[in-house]
Structure 1
């Protein structure tokens, strides 16, 4: 039992960041589609994570709801217009083509 607990404590930090695609990036472009797919797209500058200095797609079919998808698009637009840093998450894996969360940092 002791070995199981030690293994869990050792491995926990490796899984805690799973799904975070980028943190502290700035959005340089927002597009309503990409490659004729049902997604919206953001191009990023800076940040850390597997999608830093790249692009991220938000597929409509991976969003929790239509309202959540529309909110994510609005947040992306607000971040692009304000120049604030953002973080983006994919609840399923670490693929840049499947994001379903975005947040804006105020400072």
Structure 2
């Protein structure tokens, strides 16, 4: 996948790493960032743990959503280096949000 650029978008003053993939003409969003915001995690490690638990639960349920997620190199908020990060396009992200138990996602 050819990434044209990556940016940080804000949702309720919280950063979400995003990337525009030129080949697909589509935005991708860091799943960990979105999970962290919706579950009100104080740091990236808590968000990462919540995503790990959610990912395992979805796999156990036989959901193809996790299988269809991609990874892109995104800049880490911790050290500024680029690491493979689970990402989702808009459609995948909306489906994923519905699976997150959170007051903000409406899935409580």
Specify if TM > 0.5.
Answer: no
The structure that has the greater radius of gyration is 1
